[in-house]
Structure formats: C-alpha cells, structure tokens
Amino acid sequence: MIRRSLLLKIKDSLFTGKTILLLGPRQVGKSTLLEMLSHETDEKLLWFNGDNPEDREILNGMNSTKARQMFQDHAIVVIDEAQRLENSGLTIKIIHDNCKEIQIIATGSSSFELSDKIKEALTGRKWTFNLFPMSLKELKDNSGLPDLYRTLENRMIYGSYPDILNRPGNERLALQELVSDYLYKDLLMLKGTRKPEVLEKLVKALAYQVGNQVSNRELSDLLKIDKDTVEKYISLLEEAFIIFRLPSFASNLRNELKQSKKIYFIDNGIRNAVINQFNPLSLRTDTGTLWENLMISERLKYNRYNQRFVNCYFWRTTAQQEIDYLEESDGNLAAFEFKWKARKTMKFPGAFLKAYPNATQTLVDKDHFEVFTGL
C-alpha cells in the first residue's frame, strides 16, 4: 500500500482534544489510510461503518449514557462514511462530549453531507483533513522519480485513483465503474437531484471547457436550465470533490476580468471518463489542457496537505492577455504558466509585469514540475 501524505499529520493530531474529520470522494482511500493508522498505533480501535445498517442503528440511537458504556474500553473510535447517519453531527458531539478520553475519527465521502451536519455541532471540537486521489509526490515516494516520469502520461490520461493504479491494463473499465458508482448514482442519491440527465450534461460540458473561462449564462443556454440551477449543480459537484473553481485575479488594471472563473477536475481520469476520451497524447488535441489540469490539481493537493494558506487565481484581461495560475500569500504574488513541452522563449504578458513588477514568474513544463508539485 502506498503511504499517504496525511498519515503523519493525522497521527500528530491524535488525542489533542479534537474530533478528526477525514473528507474526500469515495474510493479515494480514506478507509485504507485509517487501516494504516491502526497498524501504527498501539491503541485499541473500535470501527463503525455508516454503510452497515446494523452500525447505523447503534449510532443513530446514541445518548450520553450509551456512549459512556460503549466506548469506555476503547481509545480510538472510527465512524466510516459518517454521512450515512441520520444526524452525524449530534451523534459525534454526544460521543465527543461524554468520552473526552477517546479519539473520534469520522470519514465522509461528500463534504456537503458531512460538513453541513457537523459544522454547527462540532464548532471548536474538530480538525478537518481532505484526502484526494494519489498525488505525484506520494507516487514518487513509493516507487521513485524514474518510475513517475515513465508513468506521467498515464496519470494525465487515467488519473490516480487507487483502484486505477491497482488495475494496470484495465484503467478504462475501472474509471467507468468509478464514474457510474459515485459521480451519478451516489451523488444524485445523496442530494436528491431531480434532473440527473441535466447534471450529466453539465459535467460533460465542464469537461470540455477545462482551462477556459466558464460562463453560467452560456451553460444555462446550452442545457436549457436557469442560471441559478447551473450554479447549484456546479456547487454540488465542487462539494462532492469532483471539480474545483479558480476565480479571476483583479487588482490594478481596469481591463482585468473581475468576476470570471475557470473549472478544473480533481482527477484527470474522471474528466476523461466523462467524455470517454482515452487516446494517447500523440493522438490528442487537448494535451495542454490535460497538463494544466494535472498541475493545478496537484498544486491543490500540495497546498492542502502542507497547510499552505494561499489564495489561488488565474489572470486575464479583456484584450485576451492571460496567465494560467497565480498564488497570493502574505502580500507576495507568484505567476505560473503551464506548457507540456518547454519553449525556447517564454514571456509573461507585459501588462501583467508592469502592473505587478514584484511577482515571480515560473514556467512549469514536463521537465520542470518537481518544485511546483512538491516532489
């Protein structure tokens, strides 16, 4: 099993008086991570699974007396897939408040389901961690940099969900199963979406627009639904760890785009499965798009896992001058351009350099991505 970057951070957070929430999409390895944790601690662990009806019945009827009786002989209590409980926030709060000597770890496959129920109940009582598909750093630490370079094209096409990595030669089937199992069925069931066919069309439209500005009005016209529904579904997809938004950066120039956004997929493989496109890079016209999505999603993992508190943007003017990615932190601005193949000459837009002369400038290509992704 590949050692996950969050393992040490979760270990360091044990028995600090806080409930630990581990959020991420299904099949991303949350349960496996906690199994690794159980092997690296001498503490006695009690495991519940919210997908198990018997476990749900036990936990849904929780009260203070029952909590003290049930958990007095256990040091760590795991509630896997906690979003399946009727009132996960209240259940965890009861255990937390009445069994202060134990460590609670709750996992959830969708942030909106778990966070909405727990946010108010566990205010000041929790640490929250997000787990994503395998990062390039985790793969490099497991098999070495040469192997990572050899499989980089596969990561651009098939992504890095654990099941995809474990089924070489059957990546397409594994991805189609993954999309079918949680992207449409599980997601729609959890939120009760009334127009699943519209959601499916929206995901496909977003997959084709990766790296481009996304307009809710244009999507509304395309899908024949109102803009509010478009926004609702985009938020739903983002909260379910399928996509994430990148807003536009505007500060000094009058012609900077101020209310625009781009949308990327958490995993390249999911994006390609949605549009059923698994051709090798030599036969594709979207290689640059795949590289950009991979790099920005890897940067997201790097920032979250290392608790880097940065603001992330893209930059563009009405004159079509553009920079792929910006990070702002502590008053410092860093600009990044993504190119699969390096260019001999690469210049950042003059308007940007004039407006932000202190910003650093970095080209991220297939031969120079290690620092950007935290390798």
What is the reported pLDDT for 278?
A: 95
Structure tokens at 29: 């390895």
The pLDDT value given to residue 11? 92
Closest alpha carbon to 12 in 48, 46, 37? 37
Residue whose C-alpha is closest to residue 339's, from 354, 324, 355:
324
User: 118-133: per-residue pLDDT in tens?
Assistant: 667 777 888 989 999 9
3-class SS of residue 201: helix
CA–CA distance, 201 with 184 (Å, rounded to integer):
11
Q: What's this model's pTM, rounded to 2 decimal places?
A: 0.90
Q: How far is CA 280 from the centre of its chain?
A: 25
Output the pLDDT for position 81.
Answer: 86
pLDDT confidence of residue 101: 86
Sheet holding 103-108, edge to edge: 45-49, 76-80, 103-108, 19-23, 126-130
Calculate helix-pair angle for 287-305, 136-143, nearest 10 degrees. Answer: 80
- pLDDT tens readout for residues 193-241: 667 788 888 999 999 999 888 888 888 888 888 888 888 888 888 888 8
pLDDT tens digit sequence for 97-113: 888 888 999 998 766 56
Domains and CATH numbers, the chain: 6-130 (3.40.50.300), 136-364 (no CATH)
DSSP class per residue in 181-227: IIIIIIHHHHHT-S-HHHHHHHHHHHHHTTTSB--HHHHHHHHTS-H
Residues of the chain with pLDDT under 50: 256
